[in-house]
A = this chain, B = another copy of it.
Amino acid sequence: MLTLYYAARTCSLASHIALLDAGATYELQRIDFGRTEQRSLAYLEINPKARVPAMATPRGVLTETPAILVFIAQSFPKARLAPMDDPFAFAELQSFNSYLCSTLHVAHAHRMRGNRWADDAASFADMQRKVPQSVGACYELIENRMLRGPWVMGESYTIADPYLFTLAQWLEDDGVNPARIPRVMAHRSRMAERVNVKRAITEELAD
């Protein structure tokens, strides 16, 4: 059994969608950010990083979205969610996911989580002012150079698709102009129509 520790409206949605895409049997455990449950002693035992997602497996807990997504793909090979046997194609997929975690998500986090990297209210305001530009630049690179279409990696749906979809939920709030990234917006709409995406979002909001 796999147990996904998640919070609604966070990047854990990507792993949740991938579990459904894989046909995995899983349980959900909601971590209540409103009560800062991610910093509770009980959760810190599971994930000392005090973040989501974390996924408990029979062999131990995994963290970090790119790692969890590949674990799901590799554990359920019939779902064909990653080209594990083609080192170059797999590396391109990994490169995309790595960009999302280390550049796009990080740029986004400067809107609400500035206290990770600074202390002064003026710095937080400065960071927030720059988010439309920094996040926008990430999306323009994705739009123009990285997203192949119809899916991120081209004709084959992969674990990169729920990950991009998940982060793209936040782009309007980040002040990014959707008109400048029509292919990203079309991908988001295409994803939103998928049964597993609708189900994952419904499960998270209902829990």
Q: Which residues of A contact B (CB under 8 A)?
A: 48-49, 57, 59-60, 62-68, 70-71, 74-75, 87-88, 90-92, 94-95, 98-99, 101-103, 105-107, 110, 116-120, 122-123, 126-127, 129-130, 134, 141, 145
Q: So how many copies of this chain end up in the complex?
A: 2
With A48-B145, A90-B74, A120-B122 as known contacts, state yes or no: A99 contacts B130, CB within 8 Å: no
Contact, CB under 8 Å: B119 / A122: no
Give the complex CA separation of A91 and B98 in angstroms. Answer: 14
A-B contact pairs, 13 of them (CB 8 A): A48-B141, A48-B145, A62-B92, A68-B95, A71-B87, A71-B88, A75-B87, A98-B98, A101-B102, A117-B127, A118-B118, A118-B127, A120-B126
Give the complex CA separation of A66 and B102 in angstroms. Answer: 10
Contact, CB under 8 Å: B66 / A98: yes
Contacts of A101 in B (CB 8 A): 98, 101-102
Contact, CB under 8 Å: A117 / B134: yes
In addition to A66-B94, A74-B87, 15 A-B residue pairs with Cβ atoms within 8 Å of each other are A49-B141, A60-B92, A67-B98, A70-B87, A71-B94, A98-B98, A102-B106, A106-B106, A118-B118, A118-B123, A118-B126, A118-B127, A120-B122, A122-B122, A123-B126
